[in-house]
Structure 1
Amino acid sequence: MDPSVIATLTAVVSAVVGGAAGEAGKSAWGSLTALVRRRFGTDAAVTAALEQADTRSPEETTRILVDQAHADAEFERSLADWAGETARLLQYKHDVSNTIGGDARITGTVIQAGDISGSVNLGTPGPPERRG
């Protein structure tokens, strides 16, 4: 398996298992579990890697999956596809929770956001330039 795919797989497994991916991560984990079960059925070593993922490091879970992928070219392709698609999904569909609470007193501009692409400008624009 290509080292870049292994790195992507490790990052995705880490985000999903660690909870950083929110609801999108739960869905992704469900699709990985389904992929593994379709391919390996009740193979204890592989399914245990997923069932016990919260007690293992993401690297260890990834290693078990990669070891299986090395022995099965079809699973390797499916796993690489899953990792790539899930990485793209998690970049765009993550939960954002912005909160101002308690006894907060806001006297100015507040911006709450998730991902921002482009500029965020706060303030009043100056007068237009004179051309002469």
Structure 2
Amino acid sequence: MDETALALVSAAITSLVTGATGEVGKGAWTSLVAMVKKTLGKNGEEQPTLELVEAVRTEKRDVIELSEVLVEQAGQDAEFASDLRAWLEDVKVLAKSDGPTNIVAGSARITGPVIQGRDFSGPISFGTPPPGTN
């Protein structure tokens, strides 16, 4: 599975789940559901994925699992891959209007502190400052 694609899809879904896209993001959910129905409905296999989409939307859980399903489907279906790329572009534009969505995902290995956020000002430090810098 493409870790970069997985991270992008996870970030887009997270921005919708956390409300980073505001009211306009509801349309992105509608288009995601339509995309799943269109592609997976061909084989009558859309129900489990639609249930997962709904669980993510209402319960804010299983973002990675849904992302994995979507990326896997994109790897098997060129039309779905194209639709997913277009959907990601739409969501990216929506998310930029409210600010960043920060995610540490995939095969990332964190060995120290992580700060995620927006509009920092002033110094940020971890632990005790070096001698003479008080």
Q: Which runs of 5+ in 1 are unaligned?
A: 96-115, 117-132
| 2:7 matched residue in structure 1 | 7
Output the CA distance in 2 between the equivalents of 1:5 and 1:63.
Answer: 9
Report the CA distance between 1:3 and its aligned residue. Answer: 4.0
Q: Which runs of 5+ in 2 are unaligned?
A: 100-118, 120-134
Higher relative contact order (CA 8 A, sep 6+): 2
| 1:75 matched residue in structure 2 | 80
1:46 aligned onto 2:49: yes
1:6 aligns to what SS in structure 2?
helix
Report if the CA contact (8 A) 1:46-1:68 is conserved. no
Query: Would you identify which runs of 4 or more consecutive aligned residues in structure 1 move more than 6 Å?
Result: none
Output the CA distance in 1 between the equivalents of 2:10 and 2:83.
Answer: 15
Output the CA distance in 2 between the equivalents of 1:44 and 1:57.
Answer: 16
Report the CA distance between 1:21 and its aligned residue. Answer: 2.1
**Cα displacement string for residues 76-125 of structure 1 (whole angstroms, at most 9, x for unaligned residues):** 12112211221122212x49xxxxxxxxxxxxxxxxxxxx9xxxxxxxxx
1:52 aligns to what SS in structure 2?
helix
The count of residues paired between Structure 1 and Structure 2 equals 96
Q: For the aligned residues, what is the CA RMSD?
A: 2.6
Higher radius of gyration, 1 or 2? 1
